[in-house]
Structure 1
């Protein structure tokens, strides 16, 4: 049986750990950083080169969307390696990324829509490309997968209308059609980003190209995923954009050029989460090379929790002075106490953290993630249903999940076309026999090689 093995019912049988875990895993580029880099490069004043970017469905959709607005993007790969190189023998010293994507991005003199953009199920594509389409000549039809219509976007549409965009009054979700306005005024706007920080990031990314820039205020009950907004601000400042933040929930962007420049993408630290959690649950060791010594990725916020749970976390700097090899050795799930954690700044970690909580010896609570009901799926409802189907004692709360100790058993695990849910199911399968995931292919959203990488992790095989 190999990484693509299915049960007779069409489920992917999550492999149970078959050996003492001691593994190095190479993680592909950050999806969030890749999306922002592509958009900034498309808006810049000249050609840019992006290296180490994630080549997966969401980033392919982003490239296609930008091409539909007149951006030229040439794709190549450097240092491509197969599974044997990326997932070799335990303890092997691999240093090259699994696949290093290189994109040469040439912005157009003016954005002109070819008429059709497929957003798939990618919030970054819908929310980051909409402001560019609002500045493009011509009409643009944005559509996506069936679940895209349920993803929140109305606050972004309302803000764009306030900034001068031509969006139909009846447009409340994707699919929608808008007519671009190359002289989009910009200026002041108020937005409620309680449902997604991507509303703020989407406006900030294009704001320097608005005639009057942007003075954006968030007014709402919460503002989740602040590190993602900081990631957006940082990349803009790196490219010469003036972004002032006189208040925690107000951003002023001065109009002007966005300076072209080469961009190197960090590994996706949230995609590393299930691999690191595997070490914690199984009393094993997992090493991640190329881990940034300094980062604004929310995925790095997992490390303090792992230490709190008794894991040994070490980061050995590399000779480049910017990255290192992260090593995590866990106590094993039988020695895990429960925890109480606020994941409002790193809500994408919720499925993996919930899997840890479901196997802990004490009650656990995840807070501050009510907004993930509007992610690829209603993640809280999906997690509650999946865990309960395997015997877990779990309930949704207003802003998260409450988990209590229980004996888990095998059974079907619904991925709901959500890569993070599929990864959480695979994580449970390391220690719970018979977990069967209905759609492991959705992990291609952030790591196309995830099934083979996970199989290698669990079985100790080279593939």
Structure 2
């Protein structure tokens, strides 16, 4: 077995100061790519993210007859005819959760058979609730394991009038159904079977993106939406910077008492993870309890930051983190305790970080198993700003959403070994 590459962050001797422009939002880029592909005409998506996740989405759309040009590093020009075509091969989507879930619903509009698959990590990520919702709506979708690969036998259209979904495990299931609903032959209602929904703010992102592409979405109450059968129309769409990526830079600034200009104010983000800024600004006096349900991708950042807080922090409602690119609750537990035994503990789906400001300036021998999860790699790099000897395994996995992450930190004065 080949030895994986590692990267060691050398704690800087000074504050991190400078300007870093975060990449475009992964969440918004993949929504916009899909809606532009389903639209008739040519759309220009500016400020977009070019990373592994968006590459998997764009490649899959090209396989289904969509023309996608890339005139520069932050722009996609997407030309569609309003109908996805049957791909010649299975759609391989790596470990891109948004791509798999959004496309599983969208390809039911294809007139033919489509197989959606991913890497060995993706084959462990549940998609059962979405498949069940589509099946109850009369669509032919199946998976032997409740995870990818998924087989869809599309009929060229969607006759359903209502989809019911349990959104507790992932808001992406809800977003997938909402985006599909505008392609129906008549109005379609999307209803939650319970009030819980993971990261509801991402559903708001989805609706805003749908409306930009001409969809009509009526919010009937907190558990019910009605989507008109408008289809989508092409438009020019500006994608905001990625709030999840921004959390690492906000935390790096807090840990080193620095000043990092992101070129965008925290209040200008519409993504749920931007809520983390309020917590980061309280460091080293973070709240005793932090609810992770509505800013899930920011929790790894906050958990590492909490290790240097004045007082312990309990992170609650983290069940969704167990079905991300890896079990992030376990990965955070392992990584924090690798830095110092007893630094973290787990109770059910709660993560307790003991917190110790005296960690700063110490040395450890911690090899961080990232499980090829970009967020685990990026968050533990923050610990390396204060503690020597932290080695990040498979550092290139950051390419999933932030290919220039290591360059960004280096531009602020961080060095590596």
TM-score, shorter chain, exceeding 0.5: yes
Q: 2:74 aligns with which of 93, 101, 104?
A: 101
Long gaps (5+) in structure 1: 1-7, 78-99, 310-334
Aligned partners of 2:407 and 2:174: how far apart in 1? Answer: 36
Query: Deviation of residue 361 (structure 1)?
Result: 2.0
Secondary structure at 2:379 match in 1? helix
- 1:52 pairs, out of 47, 50, 63, with 47
Instruction: Decide which of 350, 365, 369 is 2:314's aligned counterpart.
Output: 365
Specify whether residues 264 and 75 from structure 1 end up closer, same or farther in structure 2 by C-alpha distance, changes over 3 A only. Answer: same
Q: 1:243 to 1:394 in 2, by over 3 A?
A: same
Aligned to 2:303: 354
What SS is found at the alignment partner of 2:99?
helix
Shift of 1:240: 2.3
Alignment check: 8 A CA contact 2:92 2:118 kept = yes
- Contact kept, 8 Å, 1:15 with 1:458, in 2: the verdict is no
Q: Greater shift after overlay, 34-43 or 100-109? A: 100-109
Equivalent residue, structure 1, for 2:325: 376
Shift of 1:194: 1.1
User: Is 1:443 paired with 2:393?
Assistant: no
Q: Is the 8 A contact 2:42 2:234 kept in 1?
A: yes
Deviates more, 1:51-60 or 1:187-196: 187-196
User: What SS does the corresponding residue of 2:141 show, helix, strand or coil?
Assistant: coil
**1:259 and 1:108 mapped to 2: Cα distance?**
10
Tell me what 1:413 maps to: 368
Q: Indicate conservation of the 8 Å contact 2:10/2:415, yes or no.
A: no
User: Is residue 217–residue 227 contact of structure 2 (8 Å, CA) maintained in 1?
Assistant: yes
- Match of 1:434? 389
Decide whether the 8 Å contact of 2:67 with 2:79 is kept in 1.
yes
Q: Do the aligned partners of residues 346 and 169 (structure 1) sit closer, same or farther apart at CA in structure 2, a change above 3 Å counting?
A: closer
Match of 1:133 among 103, 107, 116: 107
Decide whether the 8 Å contact of 2:143 with 2:150 is kept in 1.
no
Q: Distance in 2 between matches of 1:348 and 1:162?
A: 30
Contact persistence 2:9–2:415 (CA under 8 A): no
User: In structure 2, what is the equivalent of residue 300 of structure 1?
Assistant: 274
Residue 36 in structure 1 maps to residue 31 in structure 2: yes
1:389 aligned residue? 338
Task: Compute the TM-score of the two structures, normalised by the length of structure 2.
Answer: 0.93
Distance in 1 between residues matched to 2:336 and 2:92, nearest whole Å:
33
> What is the CA distance between 1:385 and its match in structure 2?
1.0
Picking from 60, 66, 71, the partner of 1:65 is 60
Matched, 1:113 2:108: no
Matches within 5 A, 1:316-327: none
CA offsets 1:279-318 (integer angstroms, 9 cap, x no match): 1111222111134753321121022112333xxxxxxxxx
Counterparts in 2 of 1:337 and 1:231: CA distance versus 1, 3 Å: closer
Aligned residues of 2:201 and 2:294 also touching (Cα < 8 A): yes
1:349: Cα distance to partner?
0.3
Give the Cα separation in 1 of the matches to 2:155 and 2:366: 52
Per-residue Cα deviation, 1:162-189 (whole angstroms, up to 9, x for no partner): 2221124746220122211112212112
Quick one: distance in 2 between partners of 1:165 and 1:68?
22
Cα 1:9–1:269, aligned 2, differ >3 Å: closer, same or farther? closer
* Alpha-carbon distance in 2 for matches of 1:109, 1:230: 24
The aligned counterpart of 1:249 is: 223
Aligned match of 2:133: 159
Q: Structure 1 residues 434, 292: closer, same or farther in 2, change over 3 A? A: closer
Which 10-residue stretch deviates more, 107-116 or 137-146?
107-116
**Structure 1 residues 118-168: Cα deviation after superposition (integer angstroms, max 9, x where no partner):** 111011010111122111122111111101111110011111112221124
User: Counterpart of 1:106 in 2: which secondary structure?
Assistant: strand
Q: Report if aligned partners of 2:39, 2:81 keep a CA contact under 8 Å in 1.
A: no
In structure 1, the partner of 2:409 is: 454
Equivalent residues in 2 for 1:166-185, closer than 5 Å: 166-168=140-142, 170=144, 172-185=146-159
Quote the offset at 1:15 in angstroms.
2.5
Q: Following the alignment from structure 1 to structure 2, what is the Cα–Cα distance between the partners of residues 256 and 182? A: 16
Displacement, 1:238?
2.2
Is the 8 Å Cα contact of residues 329 and 349 (structure 2) preserved in structure 1?
no
* 2:16 maps to 1:21: yes
Q: How many residue pairs get matched? A: 407
In the TM superposition, 1:335-350 aligns within 5 A as 335-336=284-285, 339-350=288-299
Cα contact 2:92–2:117 (8 A) shared by 1 = yes
The TM-score, its normalising length taken from structure 1, stands at: 0.84
RMSD in angstroms over aligned alpha carbons?
A: 2.0
* Distance of 2:22 and 2:286 partners within structure 1: 28
Could you say which residue in structure 2 is the equivalent of 1:260?
Answer: 234
Residue 160 of structure 2, aligned match among 180, 183, 186: 186
String of CA shifts for 1:412-451, please: whole Å, max 9, x gaps.
1111111111011100000000100011101111111111
Who is 2:353 aligned against?
403
